[in-house]
Amino acid sequence: MSQRQSSRNYEVAAVRKAMEILCEFSGGTPMLAVSDISRRLEIPKSTAHNLLRTLQTYDFIQQDAIDRRYRLGPRVFELGLLFSQNTELIAKARTHLIRLAEATKETVKLGIVSSGGALILSAIESPFALHTRGDEGRRAPLHCTSIGKTLLAALPDDEIREIAAARGLPRLTPHTITTVDGLIAEIHRVREQSSAMDMEENELGVRCVSALIPGASRSAPAAVSVSGPSSRISDERMLTLAAQVRETAAAIAAALAAPSNSRSWLRRASASD
């Protein structure tokens, strides 16, 4: 039994539905009505209404006074900010992300696995007018982005198959991998090469390369990527960028392994006793 299957055994149905409601809000759908929630989650309107009222009580959502639709509330922002402030990965990676962005002049991203996608925790966009989006705070597909494939490479093959079965492998461009066997074969290549490439698989005209950050998180693997327009990223440059992202990933891993100032102080104090 996989970790994903095991965790499902302990889920509380009402809590799961409440979490699903929060996950329905996105940049494309910032506001939803009770009927929207009912239809999307296939639950009665009365159940949707009760769940929404509960979430509203704790400020996870707010209701518009005029059209009565719901939006995310301030408690979500508060928790997101708390996560950002207390996630060592973001703080220790930032300097290295900046250096990579300055060296490549392309868009740099830091991401982790979250809810079957690659959640972009931090991004620095290219200074060029023609560049790829940073998409900070958004999720990217796992099967057709370099950062997604790198994150998948850190997971067991069985879990990759589970994610593919649950999320599907939609074709986004003519180059997208759309079969599970094809994806597994690609992930094996990623593991061998210690980097992943997206050759216009997620978006035509965009290339990307990524590397895993070893030991970045106990709860979810993390990766760093560089992306840009294919007009600037030739096959030869992809190899150069691959080496740069691997170096950056290793530098971030070293920074994470280094003791924090507070721990260093604690050891010095103990040694002097």
Phi, psi of 117 (to 5 degrees): -140, 175
β 107-114/222-229 pair status? antiparallel
Assign domain 85-257 to a CATH class: alpha beta
Burial of 103 (0-12, 13-18, 19+ CB in 10 A): middle
CATH 1.10.10.10-classified regions of the chain: 3-78
CA dihedral 127, 122, 116, 249 (to 10 degrees): 90
pLDDT for the residue numbered 266: 40
- Could you tell me if 111 and 147 are in contact, meaning their C-beta atoms sit under 8 angstroms apart? yes
Question: Is the domain 3-78 a CATH 2.60.120.10 member?
Answer: no
- Could you tell me if 68 and 37 are in contact, meaning their C-beta atoms sit under 8 angstroms apart? no
Q: Is the pTM of this model over 0.85?
A: no
pLDDT for the residue numbered 27: 77
pLDDT for the residue numbered 88: 82
pLDDT for the residue numbered 151: 96
Task: Give every residue of the chain whose pLDDT is below 70, as ranges.
Answer: 1-11, 84-86, 216-219, 260-273
Those residues whose C-beta lies under 8 Å from the C-beta of residue 101, and which sit 6 or more positions away, are 107, 108, 124, 126
In single-letter form, the type of residue at position 98 comes to I
pLDDT tens column, 93-119: 999 999 999 999 999 999 998 878 899
Helices (H), the chain: 3-8, 13-24, 34-41, 45-57, 74-86, 88-104, 146-153, 157-167, 180-193, 235-257, 261-272
pLDDT for the residue numbered 215: 75
Opening angle at CA 167, ends 69 and 132, nearest 5: 75
CATH 3.30.450.40-classified regions of the chain: 85-257
In Å, how far are 50, 173, 246 from 216, measured between CA atoms?
Answer: 39, 31, 14
The distance in angstroms from the start CA to the end CA of the chain is 49
pLDDT for the residue numbered 198: 97
Task: With H, G, I as helix, E, B as strand and everything else as coil, classify residue 141.
Answer: coil
DSSP per residue, 40-64? HHT--HHHHHHHHHHHHHTTSEEE-
